[in-house]
Amino acid sequence: MNLYLLRHGIAVERGTRGYDHDADRTLTSEGREKLRAVGAAMLGAKLSLDRIFTSPYTRAEQTACFIADILGLGGRVQETPALLPDSASADVAEFLRGLRPQPDDVLLVGHEPNLSRLVSFLISGRENCGIELKKGGLCSLRLRWSASRPRATLLWLLTPRLMKKMT
């Protein structure tokens, strides 16, 4: 499986009036603008996606839908509690393993530090390899399944700034 992980775009700050729950925070105009460059870079890289899964938090869902629209994949976004901010990496891996039919190309949209921990877990079996996804950062892994645990190879990790330069 080709696995892509995208951290949600810039959202309104915690504690902002009108956003009593963290889950309700929305993307800012700056966040949407930076995601345009992310989407353009994804288009330029000719990424093919079979499925897009997102955290049910508003900012992640908005990010997933925004990117899906840019890529012409609006109908492929699905929310999953597997990508909630407190989800364990092993549970996300089991979610991916259980997908039927098993897709070739999957995008996960979620939060920090969970996505970085997931990348670390998939490539090393530990959650602390020192990887960090910036807001709007995108990572590519080649994921395979072994009897003992998932195994992944890190192909690339891009910051939003670098993706903007690519377009």
Give the total number of structural domains in the chain: 1
Whether pLDDT at 32 is above 90: yes
pLDDT digits (tens, 9 = 90+) for 143-157: 999 887 899 999 999
- Quote the crossing angle between the two packed helices 58-71 and 29-44, to the nearest 10°: 40
Each residue's pLDDT tens digit, 52-108:
999 999 999 999 999 999 999 988 899 999 999 999 999 999 999 999 999 999 999
pLDDT at 129 over 90: no
Find the CATH number of the domain harbouring 13.
3.40.50.1240
DSSP element (H, E) containing 89:
helix 89-97
Q: Give residue 143's domain range.
A: 2-166
Rounded-to-10 torsion of CA 11, 84, 42, 14: 10
pTM of the model: 0.96
